[in-house]
Amino acid sequence: MSQSIPSPGWNETETNALIDAHLGQEGPMLPILHALQAAFGYISEPAMRLVAQRLNVTRAEVYGVASFYHDFRLAPQGRHQMKICRAEACQSMGGETQARAFLAALGLEWGGTTPDGRLTVEPVYCLGLCACAPSAMLDGEPHARMDLEGLKALAAEAV
């Protein structure tokens, strides 16, 4: 794939600017990948190529890092992202049963996206709200003491 072919989640000028902003840091790879995902929603293949070129590492290395971490997405996702905690403290408060009921109501599996591309539901292992379980996070905003109705209300908010 040539770099000139435009691809969604990819803009060479902006990608270069984001890389430039982090080049002065020691170990800039993760900060750059976070910045790219924040800007484009996911980390596309041409973006990874450019990162490799600018950091003078192999494409395999960039792909290896991007694919290792649960946070980084290599394909477009829903416009909104809901993370539901599946860890022990939330389980002790019925979080797992409730999460399954929520997924069933949306007709999704973990990691699935609604057909209209509105919402992706992902598991997360602890949001540090373990004394106010069960918890969830919608687009980076945490919510605690969630019941099934609360999850559904959050999902309805995400338009």
Partner 1 sequence: MRIFVPQDSAALALGADRIAQAIRRDAAARDRDVTLVRNGSRGLFWLEPLVEIETAEGRVGFGPFTPADVPALFGDLTAHPKYLGLVEEIPFLKKQQRLTFARCGLADPLDLDAYRALGGFAGLEKARAMSPAEICAEVKASGLRGRGGAGFPTGIKWETVRTASAEQKYIVCNADEGDSGTFADRLIMEADPFCLVEGMAIAGRAVGATRGYIYTRSEYPYAIRMMSAAIDLAARAGLLEDFRLEVREGAGAYVCGEETALLDSLEGKRGQVRAKPPIPALIGLFSKPTVINNTISLAAVPWILAEGAPAYAAFGMGRSRGTMPVQLAGNIKHGGLFETAFGITLGELIDDIGGGTSSGRPVRAVQAGGPLGAYFAVSQFDTPYDYEAFAAKDGLVGHGGLVVFDDTVDMAQMARFAMEFCAHESCGKCTPCRIGSTRGTETIDKIIAGDAVERNLALVTDLCETLKFGSLCALGGFTPYPVMSAIKNFPEDFRGPAAKLAAE
Residue 20 in contact with partner 1, rule: CB under 8 A: no
The one among 8, 53, 58, 71 contacting partner 1 by CB under 8 A: 71
Whether 136 and 96 have beta carbons less than 8 Å apart is answered as no
Distance CA 110, CA 81 (A): 12
Residue 39 in contact with partner 1, rule: CB under 8 A: no
Whether 57 and 22 have beta carbons less than 8 Å apart is answered as no
| 45 φ, ψ (degrees, to nearest 5) | -60, -45
Token pair listed for 26: 């020691």
Whether 157 and 138 have beta carbons less than 8 Å apart is answered as yes
Residue closer to partner 1 (CB basis): 13 or 110 = 110
Residue closer to partner 1 (CB basis): 108 or 124 = 124
The one among 36, 48, 89, 155 contacting partner 1 by CB under 8 A: 89
Distance CA 34, CA 135 (A): 24
Residue closer to partner 1 (CB basis): 83 or 113 = 83
Residue 65 in contact with partner 1, rule: CB under 8 A: yes
The one among 12, 21, 23, 69 contacting partner 1 by CB under 8 A: 69
Restricting to residues 113-152, name those near partner 1 by CB under 8 A: 124-133, 135, 137, 140-145
